[in-house]
Chains A and B, each alone.
Chain A
């Protein structure tokens, strides 16, 4: 048995690269990491643990191996053992399993959580007209965003409006979740409770608490996104927006959709053609299947060639089987075909 969340990210049937899982958790995205994230159906953990360090991660994997729960099939690739499968199931009953990970891809929930903590503290102190307090030292960039937000919030009604917005949200939460969530907050003469003081199940760890909190702020983010323009919504707007695609990737994608020729994009954006192809693969990985113009590249000839050469499960395919020249475009097409079929598989599974 294990208390390590990482056990939930491995499979008994499919060997998974631990480097890919680390890269996803840290959101250290390369096209390869993202492709394998798509194959493992793990894209939703992208950026889940931004503070994880490599040494700790490696140590945790090594412990799972020593405990006989993971087995290394080829270098850097692991599968769950029989004991690992049992441990994975046991983990899910004893621990908190995050339910709103998809929201984290849409919104920067982590930054919103931090910004909320500080803003909430400031408003609480304002409610007591107290200026002498120790402000929370959150990430400096977020701190600046909260400062700027507060500078525009100069209303005597701020505390009352703020409290009302909060109450409306809490009323819709289960009582135990609402009680605990508020207990974590810092404010006037209120230092807030830490994990072990909140009366969670004894089997929970710090990580469960972290996931539980993320879920609360993810649910809140969904509500705020739809909600009216309250001071809290304005704060959320200033910190929580996260584009699905990085700007440069979006620009390449937009170019393709607008029908701009590759050569022209290469020239005008001073990028290598390989970089633009990487952007397109990233876009294909993240976007719904209907939003990517697969047919522009996977022409009937290309597809029938791949269908003839590539047999068996996708993960067993080798690029060398289809390679005909040194043209890097061939790899682009090969990888795009794999992405397309993966998306089709997922769609078929419903």
Chain B
């Protein structure tokens, strides 16, 4: 299908008159029958691609999605777009509801599913009975970043693809190095001619890059408050723990007088919904978040993203700062770093990757699931089933540990770098450096947000308190 015909469908079904960069190219490849890996920047309209395919062809679009919260956001977004034939299959559904969905799969156009659920034989056999339009893997970098030591079912996706009769693939990601891209596609065992790879530069010139090294935690906190007071909202501040995201939200509210709310995976659905919607409607200035935030949110005018803690690596960092400036307007990504900040991430690597002792202990049945935890036990069971010996598993995890440590070290290198921030990012992702001037700075001395028109000019609105219930009910139900 050519671009003109695609645009006609786009206008008819979605009310847009033109595609965002890359969307048309990917759709042309898909309608020509190619398996596709598309790397489009965050906010580049990845979900529109599979929505279009759902409208262009018969059959079920199956979307593999890593997080429950993301799945819920995606379902709500399709509902919002007027699509009702959409369903999510995940572990929160009771057995009978799952069975009902699986029996009636041909009623739906879109099925969201976790990789773990897709790994189940009963799900696969239900899918074999319907026509699959497209198998989409959203956030496809998780195949290589989460598969090996966190979500092994991601590694089994190529086998599932085989079992489903090799339906056409669409792998979507916003962040992947050339090496990651090749690691994502190769396990599917398809010849290169069967693939269409679309890769857009990761560069987002409208996001100004800035880093600062601080002496200690106290200084970092003060600096964060200064920045939050100074910068034009809305903004997002990333933390590495739920606890800190919550306590810092309160502290920032008190210190800066701004409307700040914490957002993380520990929130219940209702609280998460309220915060997302308040943020969308401009009733919250700043979100203090863990990495759970943002995977499913579409807010175009985020003016800054500050990292109070390091991400896991440059790919995650890029993904997170990509929440800023989706409207193309000037925005900023600030990374605050205190020497030693990486300790927390290093601990996390150590606690998630099983040690040699744990691997041998579990496989020789000296430890049980209770001792090593369910996640690690699942992981080791997975590799054992693949026929790997304890030694091979231990070697693989040791390599994995070193890999993750090296990835983290690159991000620390970025945080400590005296210059060349954008070049570091672009080189890492295999992009050409543009050498655009005045798009980055290092250290408080060279930080001039006024020159970027990123300084808050208006007085912050004060939070509105609870009003009389009669007024609220009248507004809710349009009672005049």
Complex alpha-carbon distance, A170 and B280, angstroms: 29
State whether A140 and B88 are in contact (beta carbons under 8 Å apart), knowing that A135-B79, A193-B466 are contacts in the complex.
yes
Contact B478 A159 (CB under 8 A): yes
Complex alpha-carbon distance, A150 and B92, angstroms: 23
B75, B274, B281: most-surrounded residue (chain A CB, <10 A): B274
Partner of A182, one of B81, B94, B476: B476
State whether A191 and B75 are in contact (beta carbons under 8 Å apart), knowing that A123-B477, A137-B269 are contacts in the complex.
no
Closest residue of chain A to B284 (Cβ to Cβ) is A191
Complex alpha-carbon distance, A127 and B478, angstroms: 6
Flag A191-231 by CB within 8 Å of B: 1 or 0 each: 11111111100000000000000000000000000000000
B273, B276, B281, B467: most-surrounded residue (chain A CB, <10 A): B273
State whether A128 and B466 are in contact (beta carbons under 8 Å apart), knowing that A135-B79, A139-B92, A140-B97 are contacts in the complex.
no
Closest residue of chain B to A128 (Cβ to Cβ) is B478
Contact A134 B274 (CB under 8 A): no
Contact B473 A166 (CB under 8 A): yes
State whether A134 and B478 are in contact (beta carbons under 8 Å apart), knowing that A182-B469, A198-B466, A199-B466 are contacts in the complex.
no
State whether A127 and B469 are in contact (beta carbons under 8 Å apart), knowing that A139-B92, A194-B275 are contacts in the complex.
no
Complex alpha-carbon distance, A162 and B476, angstroms: 11
| Residues in A whose Cβ lies below 8 Å from that of B278 | 191
Q: B123 to nearest A CB, angstroms?
A: 16
Flag A119-136 by CB within 8 Å of B: 1 or 0 each: 010011001100111111
B465 within 8 A of A: yes
Closest residue of chain A to B472 (Cβ to Cβ) is A182
Contact B473 A163 (CB under 8 A): yes
Complex alpha-carbon distance, A136 and B472, angstroms: 19
Complex alpha-carbon distance, A117 and B473, angstroms: 14
Q: A60 to nearest B CB, angstroms?
A: 14
| Residues in A whose Cβ lies below 8 Å from that of B82 | 131-132
State whether A190 and B97 are in contact (beta carbons under 8 Å apart), knowing that A138-B269, A179-B466 are contacts in the complex.
no
State whether A178 and B275 are in contact (beta carbons under 8 Å apart), knowing that A159-B478, A185-B476, A191-B283 are contacts in the complex.
no
Contact A162 B477 (CB under 8 A): yes
Complex alpha-carbon distance, A144 and B76, angstroms: 14
Contact B274 A141 (CB under 8 A): no
Summed over the interface, the residue pairs from A and B with CB atoms below 8 Å come to a total of 116
| Residues in B whose Cβ lies below 8 Å from that of A139 | 92
Q: A160 to nearest B CB, angstroms?
A: 7
Q: B287 to nearest A CB, angstroms?
A: 12
Q: A239 to nearest B CB, angstroms?
A: 14
Complex alpha-carbon distance, A128 and B275, angstroms: 22
- Interface size on B, as a range, is 35 or more
User: Which residues of B, 270-312, contact A by the 8 Å Cβ criterion?
Assistant: 270-271, 273-278, 280-281, 283
Q: B288 to nearest A CB, angstroms?
A: 12
B356 within 8 A of A: no
Q: B242 to nearest A CB, angstroms?
A: 12
Q: A47 to nearest B CB, angstroms?
A: 16
Contact B97 A144 (CB under 8 A): yes
Partner of A140, one of B77, B93, B473, B476: B93
Closest residue of chain A to B260 (Cβ to Cβ) is A196
Complex alpha-carbon distance, A175 and B467, angstroms: 10
B interface majority secondary structure: helix
A20 within 8 A of B: no
Q: A204 to nearest B CB, angstroms?
A: 13
Complex alpha-carbon distance, A187 and B470, angstroms: 15
Contact B271 A134 (CB under 8 A): no
| Residues in B whose Cβ lies below 8 Å from that of A137 | 72-73, 75-76, 269, 273
Q: B258 to nearest A CB, angstroms?
A: 14
Contact B478 A136 (CB under 8 A): no
Q: A127 to nearest B CB, angstroms?
A: 4
| Residues in A whose Cβ lies below 8 Å from that of B276 | 191
Closest residue of chain A to B281 (Cβ to Cβ) is A191
State whether A190 and B476 are in contact (beta carbons under 8 Å apart), knowing that A135-B76, A140-B93 are contacts in the complex.
yes
B113 within 8 A of A: no
| Residues in B whose Cβ lies below 8 Å from that of A134 | 76-77, 79-80, 273, 277
| Residues in B whose Cβ lies below 8 Å from that of A140 | 88, 92-94, 97
User: Which residues of A, 172-191, contact B by the 8 Å Cβ criterion?
Assistant: 175, 178-183, 185-191
Contact A141 B94 (CB under 8 A): yes
A32 within 8 A of B: no
User: Which residues of B, 242-276, contact A by the 8 Å Cβ criterion?
Assistant: 250, 261, 268-271, 273-276
Partner of A186, one of B72, B274, B478: B274
B475 within 8 A of A: yes
Closest residue of chain B to A183 (Cβ to Cβ) is B466
Partner of A163, one of B94, B280, B479: B479
Closest residue of chain B to A213 (Cβ to Cβ) is B270
User: Which residues of A, 270-295, contact B by the 8 Å Cβ criterion?
Assistant: none
B193 within 8 A of A: no
Contact B76 A188 (CB under 8 A): no
A299 within 8 A of B: no
Q: A203 to nearest B CB, angstroms?
A: 14
User: Which residues of B, 77-135, contact A by the 8 Å Cβ criterion?
Assistant: 77, 79-82, 88, 92-94, 97
Contact A194 B479 (CB under 8 A): no
User: Which residues of B, 37-96, contact A by the 8 Å Cβ criterion?
Assistant: 72-73, 75-77, 79-82, 88, 92-94
B92, B268, B467, B478: most-surrounded residue (chain A CB, <10 A): B478
A167 within 8 A of B: yes
User: Which residues of A, 84-135, contact B by the 8 Å Cβ criterion?
Assistant: 117, 120, 123-124, 127-128, 131-135
Complex alpha-carbon distance, A190 and B276, angstroms: 12
Complex alpha-carbon distance, A195 and B475, angstroms: 21
User: Which residues of B, 418-469, contact A by the 8 Å Cβ criterion?
Assistant: 463, 465-469
Flag B164-197 by CB within 8 Å of A: 1 or 0 each: 0000000000000000000000000000000000
Contact B273 A186 (CB under 8 A): yes
Complex alpha-carbon distance, A161 and B380, angstroms: 58
Contact A188 B478 (CB under 8 A): yes
State whether A192 and B92 are in contact (beta carbons under 8 Å apart), knowing that A123-B477, A144-B97 are contacts in the complex.
no
Q: B147 to nearest A CB, angstroms?
A: 25
Closest residue of chain A to B93 (Cβ to Cβ) is A140
Q: B256 to nearest A CB, angstroms?
A: 16
A137, A163, A179: most-surrounded residue (chain B CB, <10 A): A137
Complex alpha-carbon distance, A159 and B470, angstroms: 15
Contact B469 A136 (CB under 8 A): no
Complex alpha-carbon distance, A51 and B261, angstroms: 23
| Residues in A whose Cβ lies below 8 Å from that of B465 | 199
| Residues in B whose Cβ lies below 8 Å from that of A199 | 465-466
| Residues in A whose Cβ lies below 8 Å from that of B88 | 140
Closest residue of chain A to B84 (Cβ to Cβ) is A147
Contact B269 A136 (CB under 8 A): yes
A–B pairs, 5, beta carbons within 8 Å: A139-B92, A140-B97, A179-B469, A185-B472, A192-B270
Residues of B near any A CB (own CB < 8 A)? 72-73, 75-77, 79-82, 88, 92-94, 97, 250, 261, 268-271, 273-278, 280-281, 283, 463, 465-470, 472-473, 475-479
- Known A-B contacts: A179-B466, A187-B476. Give 16 more (CB < 8 A): A127-B478, A135-B79, A140-B88, A140-B93, A141-B93, A144-B97, A175-B469, A185-B476, A190-B472, A190-B475, A191-B274, A191-B276, A191-B281, A192-B270, A196-B250, A197-B466
6 tightest CB-CB pairs across the interface, nearest first? A191-B277, A137-B72, A127-B478, A134-B76, A163-B477, A178-B469
